[in-house]
Structure 1
């Protein structure tokens, strides 16, 4: 993508987000000694994004057999991370769903939710594999890391009743994807060509993911979601702009 294409793609994202990534975070993320944590957390974020999408499909949209097929799809990726078992190079052949997803007979959410989330899972697992490739090239070994406050800080505000709970989760998904897109774009010019090109290559799919989440949220909601989007936008901006002792891909302003 050229500069004009990138700017055009980022324009709605920057309007959607209520703050930019703090310069202090960019400065810290580009330091060589922090490369491992940026890559490790990015890796985990890709898997979590796939898991979150799978959870939404299983909970709200498909029958038990289809839900079990989704679990099997993610299992090799989860085993590699959580049990340290398997060869990451084999995962490129594992990113296939073994059956068509069948909607529950009584689901009000339908095929649109399934189709968008299945595509998202495929893309996130592909990105997961790409990050593993880069980690191998850069000599970064996988190790367990603690999650940052970011997603949990938004999820604690999810309503407890349906369909509002699902709508809130979809809006949060939109903010996570949009912030990822913004950070990839901000980081890319400061990294070496291999990593910078990789981050730019992710922008188009991340931008589409945020739009898919928002579209689904409005389609499913029984009311205009503008106020709820605004609510979570303010929470997201506070998490990003306020001091944060932890440093991760979605962490806030690094505290001194």
Structure 2
């Protein structure tokens, strides 16, 4: 996973399906189609948060040159994506506004180790990889269901998002003295529960809608 070779959308989708423990449930896709304005607002928030998280890692781990380089690149790309989403929203008459986060990221962070600096770094990078992978998987599943312009935009994000998740995993393996797979599988199991369980509010990374 040291580099991203050119891959088609189906190939990327298969890779993500093999990595993640579950696909996005159909009820979430239906929910997203019914809440496209909210989906775009939260998508913009996600891009901004991703850039902020990358910058946070750069500030906390200044001695890791490869991390500084990769996170700097990632932050720039995520901010570009943020600009692109906000521009697309403006074209559709959608105002960017502050909304609360889903429980998704916090649910993953609750399982991070904090006692030792390097363990905290490993877990932060693994969580980053999983969030990017899920985002990429949802772009792929949403794209065929959306209007032509939005669908094309989401497909255009697949390659960079896939590279981000690979970079996070590569860095996690590089900066730890342990096999990261047990931690990766632990977080993927948590992520599966978050994705398949019920949520009251729609967000880009929410679970399925609560049954009434």
Q: Which TM-score band applies after superposition, normalised by the shorter structure?
A: over 0.9
- Which residue does the alignment assign to 2:122? 167
Residue 27 in 1 paired to residue 20 in 2?
Answer: no
Alpha-carbon offset, residue 126 of structure 1: 0.5
Rg (Cα) greater in structure:
1
- Aligned: 1:158 with 2:126: no
Aligned equivalent of 2:199: 244
How high is the TM-score relative to the length of structure 1? 0.78
Q: Whose RCO is larger (CA < 8 A, sep 6+)?
A: 2
Once residues 96 and 52 of structure 2 are traced to their aligned partners in structure 1, the CA distance between those partners, rounded to angstroms, is 19
The answer on 1:117 being equivalent to 2:117 is: no
Q: Which runs of 5+ in 1 are unaligned?
A: 62-106
In structure 1, the partner of 2:15 is 12
In the TM superposition, residue 57 of structure 1 has moved relative to its aligned partner by 0.4
**Structural mapping, 1:1-256, within 5 Å:** 5-31=8-34, 34-61=35-62, 107=63, 109=64, 111-160=65-114, 161-256=116-211
Q: How far apart, in 2, do the equivalents of 1:219 and 1:121 lie? A: 20
1:30: Cα distance to partner?
1.2
**SS at structure 1 position matched to 2:8:** helix
Divergent runs of 4+, >2 A: none
RMSD (Å) for aligned C-alpha atoms: 0.9
Does the residue aligned with 2:100 lie in a helix, a strand or coil?
coil
CA distance in 1, matches of 2:140, 2:12: 10
Aligned residues: 204
